[in-house]
Structure 1
């Protein structure tokens, strides 16, 4: 009789396990991606180069709806990334710049876009593929010179969102 109860309990556990797993809440994804070099504004926050709020702990989380043209991706908690007078360190570059992305959650990628002064200067097709943990793109910034703010956008292929990063450069 005890053996039957054990077998019945084991069978019930085996049958219930998939239901328990499906019913458990999933943890939100707090990690995604950002431009690490030249150092984006959120990379500067993470390294403590510029004092920032919570973005210091989440440089990879500047996510918002596709189509925005802001440094903070519409996330009010990261609004300080839009503050051009915050003391962001500027990287000296030539007209052609290699941007390095670091990913902590690798979404399928629709594309990457790069903007200077509201004009798109770079586009890379992501081919709806999942990127490796790092990706580099070399972008020609065109005929701009002097201090510029580059907006880099990673448009996700499997959600309606994108990730945003602003990089301050001095083009010579």
Structure 2
């Protein structure tokens, strides 16, 4: 009996060290307003998504966008090959969230755990962008239309903030970037919207 208890304690200790040692595992999130591609995969609305259906919160890449960060064409997957399905435009088949040009909008993030945060930034595609090509910096406005400073605070598990949408018509993409304060990483979330 003593050996079994000792083995169980050692096993739990190893599991605890493994969990603690993977700091990024506790700091994940995605947008669900507007619905992000990773959320659409996770809730089963879109199929053939690969691993992202089980890990919608894990689209993490280098921070510093747009000067740094994931490569063009891989922005929606944060450059992670296991989530490459997020970069595929699917001939316009991604479902869209209906939004109103110039209106106030409530953006919402879901987090599996909190992390010290620099800010949240939102970029939008230019009018006339090529919606059949993977998302690039050239397709996006150079400045975010909304920046929400967070001053190294940790967000709750659900966070909403309001901002004004740009004036647009037709189909567009919004790229949400959640910048982490105490790592070299950020989380990326692509949402297809229809004005």
- Give the TM-score normalised by the residue count of structure 2: 0.72
Match of 1:164 in 2: 188
Is 1:53 the counterpart of 2:59? The answer is no
Selected match of 1:92 from 95, 98, 119: 98
Is 1:26 the counterpart of 2:48? The answer is no
Match of 1:43 in 2: 39
Is the 8 Å Cα contact of residues 108 and 130 (structure 1) preserved in structure 2? Answer: yes
Structure 2 residue runs of 5 or longer lacking an equivalent are: 1-12, 126-139
Deviation, 1:30, is 6.3
Deviation, 1:142, is 1.4
Structure 1 residue runs of 5 or longer lacking an equivalent are: 1-20
Distance 2:168 2:184 in 1: 31
Identify the structure with the greater strand proportion.
1
Counting matched residue pairs gives: 152
Is the 8 Å Cα contact of residues 118 and 149 (structure 2) preserved in structure 1? Answer: yes
Distance 1:158 1:124 in 2: 17
Q: Rg bigger for which structure?
A: 1
Is the 8 Å Cα contact of residues 30 and 61 (structure 1) preserved in structure 2? Answer: no
Deviation, 1:78, is 0.6
**SS at structure 1 position matched to 2:147:** strand
Structure 1 segments, 4+ long, off by >6 Å, are: none
